[in-house]
Amino acid sequence: MPLALLANWVPDPTPEFGADPKPYVTLMLVGLAVGIVGHVVRSRTMVVVGIGLVFMGTFLLPLGVYLSKS
């Protein structure tokens, strides 16, 4: 029984979604750049937008793609 539960957590080496990481990495890098510029010009709004873009690129966008394919 415990092995069956552990098997659910083993990642699939050939997932249907997310085969091309370029959109996710690009969104994360844009968010990082926006956040850095926001810190330089001391704009909290830009920092928050940058953090939001990084979060979208690392979690929300892949999750949305996964849920739309399943």
pLDDT of res. 23: 84
pLDDT digits (tens, 9 = 90+) for 12-64: 555 555 567 888 889 999 999 999 999 999 999 999 999 999 999 888 888 88
Beta strands in the chain (DSSP E): none
Q: Is residue 5 part of a domain?
A: no
How many structural domains does the chain have?
1
Q: Is residue 41 part of a domain?
A: yes
- 0.95 exceeded by pTM: no
- Band of residue 6 on the pLDDT scale cut at 50, 70, 90: low
Q: Distance of alpha carbon 60 from its chain centroid, rounded?
A: 6
Q: Is residue 10 part of a domain?
A: no
Q: Is residue 7 part of a domain?
A: no
Say if CB 63 and CB 18 are below 8 A apart: no
pLDDT at 10 over 80: no
Q: Is residue 4 part of a domain?
A: no
Q: Is residue 55 part of a domain?
A: yes
Domain around 46: 20-69
Q: Is 17 helix (H, G, I), strand (E, B) or coil?
A: coil
pLDDT at 8 over 60: yes
Q: Is residue 48 part of a domain?
A: yes
